[in-house]
Amino acid sequence: MSSSHHWISGVIIVSTVLAVDGFNGYYNFNVEHCHFSSWDLSDLEYIASYVFNKAEFIRFNSTVGKFVGYTELGVHNAEIWNKDPAKQAQMKARKDTYCKGNVQLANYAILTKKVEPKVRLSMGKASTGGHPAVLMCSAYNFYPKLIKVTWNRDGQEITGNVISSEELADGDWYYQIHSHLEFTPKAGEKISCVVEHISLRDPLEITWDPSMPEPERNKIAIGAAALVLGLIVTAAGFIYKPRSRGL
């Protein structure tokens, strides 16, 4: 089975420093962002935002190369900090000292993780009145995305009457895929679903046995699913991906 890794683009790493004045009810914090979308990090951008009572009042952007104020206090501080050579040098260096190391670490940690799929083989539609039956093979909660699902009849791959979905993102770094086989059952034949994934040493083959009761037929082959991505988020910051988990 061929496989490939994809560079994780658009990662935002965030760190927060919080200060609270409990007596007066004020609080302020700053957030550091690292934005990129290219493999070589040539478009890497560092942004530091300073917030007081939920309102951003000043920001440093490595692309702009200076502080910009958004409130009277922010404009005042930006004018002072932009005239400070040491402060300017410190902020401009953050793109290299803070962003590059963290981005590379986060991408390496994510791209080297492998989570085995949970695979379920079930009857989608029984054969009645001369109409063909439909088997469904579903793989859940696997990472990375690339996976191969095929069907065998008596050890030979079935190429016709197969409809498969694309890899569907759950929104939490995991993926799922579904494949349907339309067939006419014959006595003594062996129908099986074969799943190949980089997390599996050997292809995972699940054979359909119509003589088994439904709970046993709908057997789930569970792989080792370590919660590695949650640890990555904790160590490297927040990593944004679309929609909530669908399972």
Sequence spans of domains, the chain: 15-111, 118-225
pLDDT value, residue 135: 93
- Residue ranges of alpha helices (H) inside the chain are 72-82, 85-94, 101-111, 214-217, 228-236
What is residue 168's predicted lDDT score, i.e. its pLDDT?
94
Would you give the DSSP letter of residue 201? S
Q: The domain 118-225: what is its CATH number?
A: 2.60.40.10
**pLDDT given for residue 106 in this prediction:** 75
CB atoms within 10 A of CB 207: 12
Q: What is the pLDDT of residue 76?
A: 95
State which residues of the chain have pLDDT below 50: 1-9, 11, 213-247
What DSSP state is assigned to residue 85?
Answer: H
**Rounded Cα gap, residues 242 and 146, in angstroms:** 18
- Cα 180 to Cα 135: distance, rounded to the nearest angstrom: 6
What element of type H or E holds 121?
strand 118-125
Please state the separation of Cα 232 from the chain's center in Å: 11
CATH topology of domain 15-111: 3.10.320
- 118-225 matches 15-111 in CATH topology: no
Q: For residues 222 and 173, what is the distance between their CA atoms, to the nearest angstrom? A: 18
pLDDT at res. 129: 66
Cα 140-143-162 angle, rounded to 5 deg: 50
